[in-house]
């Protein structure tokens, strides 16, 4: 009796495997925005069904039209609620592409759908990530500036002594590599001697997106 039941189940499974199932692909993808700041995540709501889903950001090395040499990121479609997010460290226009693919149970039939999204990314990052001042002379000492982002200030503490504050070699590093730094309305070049003898100096970080931020760099004595 048990053997008979086993054989019936085995035949049922075999018949099910012989039944051809068509691939299913009914996907909807919705981005949270089409205009984002550099570094701001764009969240993609994913609804529907697809076996596989990959994302091409549209940046160099990840453009869909360069397939198969382009780099793609996979989306976990086995999750209960599939989702995906991506942040561009970029300024300008880009075309992102999702490619969804599903196969039938025999692996012969295939459905593919391409989703294209055009994004405008603006880099308005005017932050500083590092600052140093170096005292004059062959054996000059370098002092790290303390950055206070809430007040847009940089403070370097230098010991008392016979130090010429008119010739402090100054280095400022903007958080965005696309930003420019100005001093007295002119482009500032690092490793330039700056005169702090009369007090703080105001530098301007100008983002490629057009935003500007004044940063007050000051010297305090211990």
Domain boundary pick from 122, 146, 174: 122
Provide the domain count of the chain.
2
pLDDT at position 15 is 46
Give the separation between CA 146 and CA 153, rounded to whole angstroms: 8
Per-residue pLDDT averaged across 40-63, rounded?
A: 97
Q: In this structure, are 199 and 140 located in the same domain?
A: yes
CATH no. for residue 60?
2.60.40.10
Res 4 pLDDT > 80: no
In a domain? residue 93: yes
Note whether 26 and 118 are same-domain residues: yes
Distance of CA 207 to the CA centre of its chain: 16
Mean pLDDT of 58-80: 96
Backbone region of residue 150 per phi and psi (left: phi > 0; alpha: psi in -120 to 50; beta: other values): alpha
The pLDDT of 198-208, averaged and rounded, is 97
Domain boundary (93, 122, 151) is at 122
Residues 108 and 152 placed together within one structural domain of the fold: no
**Which of these three, 68, 93, 122, is where a domain ends?**
122
Count CB-CB contacts under 10 A for residue 81.
7
Tell me which residue range forms the domain holding 132.
Answer: 128-221
Asked, for residue 175, whether it belongs to a domain, the answer is yes
pTM score of the predicted model: 0.77
| Domain contains 85 | yes
Q: Which one is predicted more confidently, 69 or 13?
A: 69
């Amino acid at each position: 009796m048990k053997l008979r039941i086993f054989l019936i189940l085995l035949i049922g499974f075999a018949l099910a495997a012989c039944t051809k199932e068509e691939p299913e692909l009914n996907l909807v993808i919705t981005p949270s925005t089409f205009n984002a700041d550099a570094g701001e995540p764009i969240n993609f709501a994913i609804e529907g069904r697809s076996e596989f889903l990959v994302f091409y950001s549209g940046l160099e090395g990840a453009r869909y039209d360069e397939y198969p040499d382009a780099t793609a990121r996979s989306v976990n479609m086995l999750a209960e609620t599939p989702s995906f997010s991506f942040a561009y460290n970029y300024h300008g226009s880009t075309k992102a592409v999702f490619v969804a693919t599903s196969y039938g149970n025999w692996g012969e039939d295939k459905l593919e759908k391409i989703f294209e999204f055009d994004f405008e990314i603006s880099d308005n990052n005017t932050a500083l990530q590092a600052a140093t001042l170096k005292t004059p002379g062959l054996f000059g000492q370098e002092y790290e500036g303390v950055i206070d982002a809430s007040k847009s200030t940089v403070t370097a503490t230098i010991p008392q002594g016979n130090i010429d504050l008119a010739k402090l070699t100054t280095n400022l590093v903007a958080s965005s590599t696309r930003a420019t730094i100005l001093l007295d309305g002119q482009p500032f070049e690092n490793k330039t001697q700056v005169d702090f003898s009369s007090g703080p100096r105001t530098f301007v970080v100008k983002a490629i997106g057009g935003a500007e931020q004044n940063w007050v760099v000051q010297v305090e004595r211990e």
